[in-house]
């Protein structure tokens, strides 16, 4: 035990940052300065991340298009995935994919998979209100590495998603004006890169508390060029999520920071974004008010024109910074 204590102390001194010991508590974290942060895994369990962990570029560069899987869900198969394989048209012809219907693409976050809760949460909300093609991107091959490796791998993953969507639409039909990309945390930057690869054609791109650590100033971060309309919902800004506006429209429920109502940890606040979005898809009841400045959003003083936060309307358009208040439990 003494050896372990000395080992931990030596790491702390070398890093120049204390190692946080309370899971999910990011009260120590200073964006751009801290080395350690708690990040959510697939089961919403906080894992300690070393943002200075070395990256094996060979490992990252070894990934290819086959690293991703694409799981199709429709009203005909709402619970059992049909796997679509890029370049294999038979997997599409033999599935329930319908090119005349809208396409919703969902990407999980770090340490996630196609089975992550965010996927079923959002896909079930969409299928309840609309007959659509849901495509869940399983990018676990990259996501299930350490956080730094996953960050470096995101642009390639997104490029593969963009290539797949172009192939799918060209092969089996579809309309870019009916394509909506949704990503949580690191997955927000994945769908941003996918939209970029597709030439900004997707009608709508939604980032659910886009990951913040190592993304400030990152040219591959989600931005307004990634689709016809790009929005972000910020719930843990400055900690696990990015705080600054990055889309055409940026929503700051409850000032966009931790703690969100009812949340004791940063991890809870980070995970609130998918919950708010899924609820808004079902009922479209969360109304953002336009802010005159970023400071107004931070101080919850916005009272301008209304733009609903979230929802599943693919033709939704807007611009600016929006603030709103929500409840502490479903449907918020």
pLDDT in tens, 25-46: 898 999 889 999 999 887 778 8
Give the CA angle between residues 180, 181, 187 to the nearest 5°.
Answer: 165
pLDDT (average), residues 204-208: 98
Catalytic residue among 180, 189, 258, 270: 270
Q: How confident is the model at residue 196 (pLDDT cuts 50, 70, 90)?
A: very high
Q: What pLDDT shows up at residue 59?
A: 63
CA nearest 31: which of 249, 244, 270? 244
Tell me if 203 sits within 8 A of 228, measured CB to CB: yes
For residue 21, pLDDT over 90 is answered with no
Catalytic residue among 116, 185, 266, 279: 185
Average pLDDT, the chain: 92
Among this protein's residues, is 43 annotated catalytic? no
Among this protein's residues, is 185 annotated catalytic? yes
Total-model pTM: 0.92
pLDDT in tens, 159-173: 999 999 999 999 999
Alpha helices by DSSP H, the chain: 2-15, 57-61, 89-93, 117-129, 140-143, 147-172, 186-197, 266-283, 294-298
pLDDT (average), residues 211-231: 97
Phi, psi (deg, nearest 5) at residue 148: -65, -45
Q: What pLDDT shows up at residue 211?
A: 97
pLDDT (average), residues 131-142: 97
Catalytic residue among 138, 209, 236, 248: 209
For residue 61, pLDDT over 70 is answered with no
For residue 6, pLDDT over 70 is answered with no
Q: What pLDDT shows up at residue 37?
A: 94
For residue 109, pLDDT over 50 is answered with yes
Q: CA separation (Å) from 251 to 161, 270, 318?
A: 26, 14, 11
For residue 286, pLDDT over 60 is answered with yes
pLDDT (average), residues 72-86: 98
Domains of the chain: 58-324 (3.40.50.1820)
Structural tokens at position 105? 């693409």
């Amino acid at each position: 035990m003494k050896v372990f204590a000395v080992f931990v102390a030596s790491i702390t001194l070398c890093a120049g940052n204390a190692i946080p010991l309370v899971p999910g508590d990011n009260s120590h974290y200073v964006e751009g300065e801290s080395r350690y942060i708690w990040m959510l895994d697939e089961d919403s369990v906080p894992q300690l991340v070393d943002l200075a962990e070395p990256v094996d570029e060979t490992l990252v560069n070894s990934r290819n298009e086959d690293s991703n899987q694409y799981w199709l869900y429709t009203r005909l198969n709402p619970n059992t995935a049909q796997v679509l394989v890029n370049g294999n048209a038979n997997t599409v012809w033999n599935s329930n994919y319908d090119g005349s219907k809208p396409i919703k693409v969902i990407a999980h976050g770090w340490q996630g998979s196609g089975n992550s809760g965010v996927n079923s949460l959002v896909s079930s909300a969409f299928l309840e209100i609309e007959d659509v093609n849901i495509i869940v991107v399983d990018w676990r091959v990259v996501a299930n590495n350490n956080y730094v490796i996953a960050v470096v791998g995101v642009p390639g993953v997104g490029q593969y998603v963009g290539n797949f969507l172009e192939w799918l639409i060209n092969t089996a039909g579809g309309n870019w004006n009916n394509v909506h990309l949704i990503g949580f945390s690191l997955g927000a930057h994945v769908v941003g890169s996918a939209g970029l690869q597709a030439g900004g054609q997707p009608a709508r791109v939604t980032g659910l508390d886009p990951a913040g650590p190592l993304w400030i100033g990152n040219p591959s971060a989600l931005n307004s060029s990634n689709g016809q309309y790009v929005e972000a919902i910020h719930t843990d800004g400055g900690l696990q999520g990015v705080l600054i506006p990055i889309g055409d429209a940026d929503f700051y429920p409850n000032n966009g920071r931790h703690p969100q109502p009812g949340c004791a940890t940063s991890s809870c606040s980070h995970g609130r974004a998918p919950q708010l979005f899924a609820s808004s898809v079902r009922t479209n009841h969360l109304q953002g008010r336009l802010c005159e400045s970023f400071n107004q959003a931070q101080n919850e003083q916005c009272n301008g024109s209304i733009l609903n936060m979230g929802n599943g309307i693919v033709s939704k358009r807007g611009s600016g910074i929006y603030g709103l208040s929500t409840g502490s439990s479903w449907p918020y």
